[in-house]
Chain A
Amino acid sequence: MGVEVVVEGLTKRFGSQTVWSDVSLTLPAGEISVMLGPSGTGKSVFLKTLIGLLKPDAGHVWIEGVDIAKCSRQDLYEIRKLFGVLFQDGAMFGSMNLYDNVAFPLREHTRKSESEIRQIVLERMELVGLTGAENKLPGEISGGMRKRAGLARALVLDPEILLIDEPDSGLDPVRTTYINQLFIDLNAQIDATFLIVTHDINTARTVPDNIGLLYHRHLAMFGPREMLLTSKEPVVAQFLNAQRVGPIGMSEEKDADQLASEEGIAMPPLPPLPLQIEPSSGIPRRGQRESGAWCRENGVVPPAGSFPERAYAMSLH
């Protein structure tokens, strides 16, 4: 279960504007990865390129031996059946109620009977906490509900790869925590490969197995969560810890004067690393690694106070 996505030297331009160039990374099968980046750095464009909605100007996206960037339309439609995508505002069809929206992929792509469809749809709606809202129209519900409905629709064909664009934009912190927990539980249950695009640092710090950071028209870094959280690379450290000191300014990049004036100021120390959110069932996910394992294996000492619950557990013994 879960499919690996290999991205090689991907470059995307709009006219003369390069969105990003030479992006290479591998989304490991069954793991959760997060793509971070300031607004407007092309996270959504990246996601749409992975699914073939936008054609890259160079590079490849390999999925099960097929190159999304170059394959025929027919292959593209075939390979897309492996995907579930949650768009930024849910992209629910305004002319259908939530039930029909969620049932739509089943009706179009399977030969299931209406009663089988009903069973699957109701199950998915329950999973995202929308039981009872089946007859509502997308225009009548809140943004958070639309997102959850979009998630139910993305899940209905049991995708191998789930792409999620800014699940947390416009949600309050409590709802964000809930939806993050939902991703972890879902991953435990269906083992799909997840890519979550966000600029919410808290999500990036606690949810994924891997983090990537898009910045200044390239992929600044991609790797295991603990690698990025302990990185001293200025851009990564600044963004992941939401600091003002560093190369990122109000308008994307700081100018030379501003950087020069900051030269003497050292980057503030890294805050402690949080634990990764665990599945609520208590059964570990397939791609999950013990918090702190990466640091130990690579001889990196995490900042004091990292992985608080474990520290607490150890102090008991």
Chain B
Amino acid sequence: MALAIKPALSRVGGFVSLVGDSSRAMFRRPFPLQEYLEQTVFIASVSILPAVFVTIPFTVVVQFFINQLLQEIGATDLAGGGSGFVVIQELGPFCSVLVVAGAGATAVCADLGSRRIREELDAMETLGLDPMHRLVAPRVLAFTTVALGLFGIVSVVGLVGTYVFSVVIGGASPGLFVSNLTLVTGAPEFIMAMIKTLLFGVTAAWVACYLGMNAKGGPKGVGEAVNQTVVVTLMVLVVINSAVTTVYLQLGV
């Protein structure tokens, strides 16, 4: 046990110093704009399709149960309120996270991991280029950008999906559905969801970069690093999710 704790602590230490170094590097000139744009396009390209196809079944199935539930308590017309709540507050951020962790973070970790194994990172440092500045900082920003974009996509897809499911298929009243959308979901909830998404994006980026850059041991090592990335990001993200919800409920806005 003690043997397991020590490496775990040194990993946490390594992660914290990566967070610090890359945050500082973000403000260093010249900002690696090219890398940022390329990574944004790259992460978006691996994330958008999965985002759409993860959101559709997820929101529909949630709406399915919420509708059943509302039926049980005799409030079918609240479906719109349920939808707004589910999509914006919970599933919107959660689906974008899922995809940022499952698609974006895995891709970035695999990329950095194989650069580590091919000794490209060592070569960079030998050339006097700081990987924190050149690689990590632009990726963190790229992740944030993509996460926010995905949140938008996911929200639209989710609302349309639940609308189709509840109104077109389920026969709820369209007018009530739309007017109830904002019943429990207003500007504060929207802002909370954005904050969740932002935090998710940044964290996923740091975890992916940290684990990728510390991969070792050939093919097995890279595979394991990517595996760990999904697991760790998901775990961190659900914690953030609940933490932000708690804070929001405490504020009582």
Contacts and interface: CB of A to CB of B under 8 A. Distances in A.
Contacts of B217: 139
A234 B113 CA distance: 44
B6 interface: no
A308 interface: no
Interface string B215-239: 0010010000000000000000000
Contacts of A94: 220
A137 to B, nearest CB: 11
Interface string B104-145: 000000000000000000000000000000000000000000
A94 B220 CA distance: 9
Contacts of B220: 94, 139
A139 B221 CA distance: 11
Interface string A120-140: 000000000000000000010
A94 B217 CA distance: 12
Interface string A262-279: 000000000000000000
Nearest to B221: A139
Interface string A5-22: 000000000000000000
A147 to B, nearest CB: 15
Chain A: interface size category: under 10
Nearest to A89: B218
A139 B220 CA distance: 10
A139 B217 CA distance: 8
Nearest to A139: B217
Interface string B144-187: 00000000000000000000000000000000000000000000
Interface string B196-219: 000000000000000000000100
Nearest to B220: A94
Interface string A178-200: 00000000000000000000000
A216 B30 CA distance: 48
B221 to A, nearest CB: 10
Nearest to A94: B220
A33 to B, nearest CB: 31
B225 to A, nearest CB: 15
Interface string A207-231: 0000000000000000000000000
Interface in A222-246: none
B223 to A, nearest CB: 11
A302 B128 CA distance: 56
A268 to B, nearest CB: 37
A92 to B, nearest CB: 12
Interface in A85-102: 94
Interface string A138-155: 010000000000000000
A288 B121 CA distance: 51
B218 to A, nearest CB: 9
B92 to A, nearest CB: 41
Nearest to B219: A94
A128 B217 CA distance: 25
Interface in A266-296: none
Contacts of A139: 217, 220
A180 B232 CA distance: 48
A278 B220 CA distance: 40
B122 to A, nearest CB: 20
B183 to A, nearest CB: 55
A94 B218 CA distance: 12
A139 B218 CA distance: 10
Nearest to B217: A139
A208 to B, nearest CB: 31
A215 B220 CA distance: 34
A317 B163 CA distance: 104
A139 B216 CA distance: 12
A93 to B, nearest CB: 12
Interface in A241-264: none
A138 to B, nearest CB: 10
B220 to A, nearest CB: 6
B215 to A, nearest CB: 14
A139 B219 CA distance: 12
B124 to A, nearest CB: 25
B137 to A, nearest CB: 34
A51 B180 CA distance: 68
A94 B223 CA distance: 14
A5 B122 CA distance: 47
A169 to B, nearest CB: 15
B94 to A, nearest CB: 35
| 3 nearest A-B pairs in the assembled complex, by CB-CB distance | A94-B220, A139-B217, A139-B220
3 contacts: A94-B220, A139-B217, A139-B220
